[in-house]
Amino acid sequence: MIIMDKVAIVTGSSSGIGFETALALARNGCYTYATMRDTKKNGKILEIAKKENLKIEVLELDVDKEDTIKNAVGKIVQDKKRIDVLVNNAGYFLVGCLEDLSIKDMRAQFETNFFGVARTIQEVLPTMRMQKSGIIVNVSSVAGRIGFPVTPAYISSKFALEGLSESMRYELAPFNIKTVIIEPGVVKTNLFASLKKVTKPDSIYKDITEKVMQGLVMMSEMGTPAQDVARAIINAISSENPLPRYPVGNDAIMFLEAKKSKTDIEFENYIKKELFS
């Protein structure tokens, strides 16, 4: 156990990576605010916290709703007078080819996966700047580095998150605020069961959508455990000089290595072979 006497906030703690990260932070000594948009889902985490005597408090926070962010962060600052760690984890998976998606669908995906992160960060920054320390962990994905058919909105939201994270790392370094990006491959969580799929009734993309969906569901069953992602987050937070990025899972490492070592065309052919052969 790495003892960290820190105040941490995690978004999207009701399940998956957020749930495991909130627990891991608390097990490593942090006073952890496990935030969730629906606090009726607090049963399991509070039960574990009680059993293990962990410092976990559940607060309502919906990253789409500014007032819930302000309320949660306001309460934390009032109670603890500091915020050391913010893990931006909340997100969902929108599936559908570009021609099948409406702009409204795409805006909603960005609202949560990108603007939700930006507005949560904006809310904690005055506190972190004042204390001259802090670390912000943005849970992106290997999908934040690699294009893939059938998931263009999700991929674009994560590419945008990578751009935000890289840029803010420079802006916040003078205040001793660190930024890291976590890039998991496929992780075994609720993300796939709760995904939003959009296909028009007469879509010409039905076949490719089904094929990619089936592949993703199959991969998710063999996915990296969410605990491994939580461990990578703890590793990043406890490092003196955190790296800009932490890929998690053999699939993520394999894809990112291939992207680095190949030309764009070679990489495109590699993805086509992985997908369609």
Ligand X SMILES: NC(=O)c1ccc[n+]([C@@H]2O[C@H](COP(=O)([O-])OP(=O)(O)OC[C@H]3O[C@@H](n4cnc5c(N)ncnc54)[C@H](OP(=O)(O)O)[C@@H]3O)[C@@H](O)[C@H]2O)c1
Active site residues: 154
Say if residues 198 and 94 touch (Cβ distance below 8 Å).
yes
Measure the CA–CA gap between 213 and 229, rounded to whole angstroms.
23
CA distances from 69 to 37, 76, 170, 196, 214 (A): 10, 11, 24, 24, 36
Q: Quick one: which of 59, 164, 181, 186 contacts ligand X (CB under 6 A)?
A: 186
- Within 118-157, the residues that bind ligand X by CB under 6 A are 139, 141
The region of 22-30, 94-102, 185-193, 233-241 touching ligand X under the rule CB under 6 A is 185-193
Closer residue to ligand X, CB minimum distance, 75 or 206: 75
SS (H, E, C) 90-130: CCCCEECCHHHCCHHHHHHHHHHHHHHHHHHHHHHHHHHHH
Min separation Cβ 1 and ligand X, Å = 23
- Does residue 16 interact with ligand X by CB under 6 A? yes
CA distances from 173 to 9, 166, 241 (A): 20, 11, 11
- Does residue 184 interact with ligand X by CB under 6 A? yes
- Does residue 92 interact with ligand X by CB under 6 A? yes
- Does residue 112 interact with ligand X by CB under 6 A? yes
Look up tokens 């507005």; give the residue.
119
Q: Quick one: which of 8, 76, 101, 187 contacts ligand X (CB under 6 A)?
A: 187
Q: Quick one: which of 134, 152, 223, 242 contacts ligand X (CB under 6 A)?
A: 223
Closer residue to ligand X, CB minimum distance, 14 or 127: 14
- Does residue 189 interact with ligand X by CB under 6 A? yes
The CA-to-CA distance between both ends of the chain, in Å, stands at 45
- Within 193-222, the residues that bind ligand X by CB under 6 A are 194
Residues 6+ apart with CB under 8 A from 92: 109, 112, 113, 191, 194, 195, 196
Rg value, the chain, Cα: 19
Hey, what are 78's tokens?
A: 């009032």
Q: Quick one: which of 29, 48, 64, 270 contacts ligand X (CB under 6 A)?
A: 64
Say if residues 249 and 223 touch (Cβ distance below 8 Å).
yes
Min separation Cβ 3 and ligand X, Å = 26
- Within 252-271, the residues that bind ligand X by CB under 6 A are none
Q: Quick one: which of 28, 42, 89, 156 contacts ligand X (CB under 6 A)?
A: 89
Say if residues 40 and 91 touch (Cβ distance below 8 Å).
no
Min separation Cβ 225 and ligand X, Å = 11
- Within 21-40, the residues that bind ligand X by CB under 6 A are 36-38
Under the rule (CB under 6 A), what is the footprint of ligand X?
Answer: 11-12, 14-18, 36-38, 41, 62-64, 89-92, 112, 116, 139, 141, 184, 186-187, 189-191, 194, 223, 226
